[in-house]
Structure 1
Amino acid sequence: MNLPALTHIAQGRDHINTAEFGRAINRSGQTIRKNFCQEGAAYGIRPVKIRGRLLWPVASIAAILAADTLPAANNSGE
């Protein structure tokens, strides 16, 4: 996915929820949560916890999309 699509998803917000993060990087929300539980981060991004919800910084997501540093999708677990 490209940066204009992330801009559309974020709609001017600084943080997005897990499902939106997954949609921005073409992964399921469950994959994002699994990575967070196992590593404390997902794709090198640490979320902010607010009232038990994980909110992911849009600036960090934009940086990995711009650098195109996401690992290849592993569809065996999704």
Structure 2
Amino acid sequence: MDTASAHHSAATYRVVTRRAVTTPKTFPPLEQVSLQTVPTEQAAYYLNRRPQTLRHWAMRDGTGPLRPVRIHGRLAWPVAAIRKLLEVPA
């Protein structure tokens, strides 16, 4: 068997795996949010950052432009602070 046919044969039996594609969540425009705080994923969406970046800000006090509050051990991000940072009217 020559090299080309050996390569073709190996490629035929290769299993292709892909990560599951998830659809991104959609959130209402920041101007329409009436809550005082939003969860990390939603805050990250408005700030155009990954949720892990916000968690890093929370873990290392003072490294990020926002400080979360903790509600029953969960991070909550003040909407007023997000609006101020992004210069969005209330």
Same topology, TM > 0.5: yes
TM-score range, shorter chain: 0.5 to 0.7
Distance 2:63 2:43 in 1: 10
RMSD over aligned CA atoms reads: 2.1
Cα distance change on mapping 1:14 and 1:41 into 2, 3 Å: farther
Structure 2 counterparts to residues 1-78 of structure 1, below 5 A? 5-8=29-32, 10=33, 12-38=34-60, 40-41=61-62, 43-66=64-87
TM-score normalised to structure 2 length: 0.58
Cα distance change on mapping 1:42 and 1:51 into 2, 3 Å: farther
Structure 1, unpaired ranges of 5+: 68-78
| Equivalent residue pairs, number | 61
Q: Percent identity?
A: 34
**1:74 aligns to what?**
none
Larger radius of gyration: 2
